[in-house]
Chains A and B, each alone.
Chain A
């Protein structure tokens, strides 16, 4: 019996050598469903951070909105129930409204423009988010938002004939779209299918991945190829939790997420292409507005900017983004 006790105690002592004595578990909520590329990337972050920290930093992930919607998750982070969350631009906007500038309709013409601006403006956003008590450790790009309609759309006038379903909870954007001359119907995403079937709405704007996975395109099978706005997001950690991690580890952890984030961008871009190809096989028709119509689209969008600048986000951040955009366009015009 004594021998057995000794063996067990020795085993326990050996096991204790491998236990990280100051391990902290960071609970992270996410709206991304399990087995999605975003959740797979988050799991990879968890594995790499655990390895870098020698097991002292452990992420516990709650995917698929188990921890609630984005507002719920922000509240839970503030209340200490969550240590982090994966948010989209809607959630990031709740922490720092200035981030919403990146969602302005037809602001960016290409991914290159977006990356040029984002790379330069990120530090300002990160500081502002930091001042609100959070640290953003990854920025993610989840594709672009497009218009899907029941009838072909090539010009703003075509779109104005449609009643566009619009997510509730973004009042400034709703007003901006109205000022641009569009008919907007506030509608929850879960009611979109019913709205399309009943004829309450006849257009929506979503990323192709969601238009496909929700089968909405079957009811509005015309996609305008114009990229309306990027769908950005990020992993946010409560600042005081992040700062408890030794700085040397934090640097290595940020380096790891950069690599994971770059891989995720490639994957989501590929998925978006696959989603569009699959929808085309199932009846989606893509319409490309002519290059001559683009200035007209932009002029129409500009009419609504008064509702956003100085209301949804600060004039200062808008001017900064606009200056960077012009800088990029001038460099590339040469």
Chain B
């Protein structure tokens, strides 16, 4: 074989090898990604009964998903898993413990909350970018507040992306309500949640109704808060879960009953949270266990939320009645 022909042959061989390697690598990544994101795979975390174990394991798992996503950016399951886990982690393992810290640890509390805001937005951006890849022009239309155009062509298969990105977005705003740029983008997040409600109102055991309990129950009325609407969504959430999930009771207790200053209903709802058999509900075991911890904390700190109740002084009983 003449030299130039031999060289061409070698080049072709190298190209085939490289392409095959790339293709094998891509296939392998996709295979691993498929296994990791297969339906039911998330149960490894959500069905666990040890929140500390999950809290310690999640950062590594999220970064692993993220590195796989860098190699397979179009993998839908990886986009969803990585983005939503960032948001779940921020909520369960940063914001929740921060809210339960005593006032004297305010610096640590602020540190955790700022981390949570950052990770909420990171997760949101991953999910929005997944939607934008499949629906080019989505983000631009959303920014321009052409909500129908943004969500055009989206079916029920996009509901988890819409839900988690909207939830992460609004949760970040709740941490920093005076971040004006974030606040002014709130209608975009609200539009995503409205689309979830329209496409699949029973999504994830009525998670969208639970979201609306918090949304209408927490916002000031001049920003769209509406206690009546919050209660309506509570009824729908209870009906979707058959009363076996702790979240709707906790959401109503910590928003609406506090605004209405109804300490009796607050206690009753939190007692319902504690009465649910957390170990018996496999799909939501972790969530129920974390919610029961929150419920105990709220009951222990009830006087922080109801003006009529007597407040004990820190580190001892006051001699006088508080006023």
CA of A332 to CA of B36 in the docked complex: distance in angstroms? 73
CB neighbors of B among A252-276 (8 A): 271, 274-275
Shortest Cβ distance from residue A39 to the other chain B in the assembled complex, whole angstroms: 10
Size range of the interface on A?
35 or more
The answer to whether the Cβ of B3 comes within 8 Å of any Cβ in the partner chain is: no
B320 interfacial by beta-carbon distance below 8 Å: yes
B190 CB to nearest A CB, Å: 10
Stretch at the interface among A23-31, A94-102, A125-133: A23-31
Stretch of A103-111, A168-176, A209-217, A310-318 that contacts chain B:
A209-217
CB within 8 Å of A: which of B9-52? none
B180 touches A21 (CB 8 A): no
Asked if A60 meets B311 with Cβ closer than 8 Å, knowing A36-B177, A215-B186, A278-B180, the reply is yes
How far is A76 from B261 in the complex, measured between Cα atoms in Å? 14
Query: A83 near B220 (CB under 8 angstroms)?
Result: no
Q: Do residues B316 and A25 form an inter-chain contact, with CB atoms below 8 A?
A: no
Q: How far is the CB of A104 from chain B (nearest CB, A)?
A: 25
Instruction: Flag B174-191 by CB within 8 Å of A: 1 or 0 each.
Output: 011110110110110000
Contacts of A67 in B (CB 8 A): 307
Is the C-beta of B61 less than 8 angstroms from some C-beta in chain A? no
Digitize B138-157: 1 where CB-to-A-CB distance is under 8 Å, 0 elsewhere: 00000000000000000000
CB pair B180 A275 closer than 8 Å: yes
Complex Cα gap A296–B137 (Å): 49
CA gap between A58 and B314 in the complex, in Å: 8
Residue in A24, A25, A35 whose beta carbon sits within 8 Å of that of B175 in the complex: A35
Contact A23 B184 (CB under 8 A): no
How many residues in B have their beta carbons less than 8 Å from beta carbons of A?
Answer: 37
Q: How far does the alpha carbon of A274 sit from the alpha carbon of B104 in the complex, in Å?
A: 30
**Contacts known (A36-B178, A80-B323, A213-B177); A47 close to B103, Cβ less than 8 A:** yes
Q: Contact partner of A189 among B222, B261, B312, CB < 8 A? A: B222
Q: Looking at the complex, which one of A33, A37, A58 makes contact with B220 (CB distance below 8 Å)? A: A33
**Cβ of A301 under 8 Å from chain B:** no
Are B220 and A64 in contact (CB-based, < 8 A)? yes
Determine if A271 and B178 form an interchain contact, defined as CB atoms under 8 angstroms apart. Answer: yes
Query: Is A124 engaged at the interface, CB distance under 8 Å to the other chain?
Result: no
- Quick check: A26 and B315 within 8 Å, CB to CB? no
Q: List B residues at the A interface (Cβ < 8 Å).
A: 103-104, 106, 175-178, 180-181, 183-184, 186-187, 220-224, 258-259, 261, 303-305, 307-308, 311-316, 318-320, 322-323
Q: List 8 A-B contacts (CB under 8 A).
A: A20-B313, A23-B314, A25-B323, A27-B311, A43-B103, A43-B106, A210-B222, A282-B184
- Nearest first, the 7 A-B pairs at minimum CB distance are A19-B316, A25-B322, A23-B313, A278-B180, A190-B221, A83-B323, A189-B222
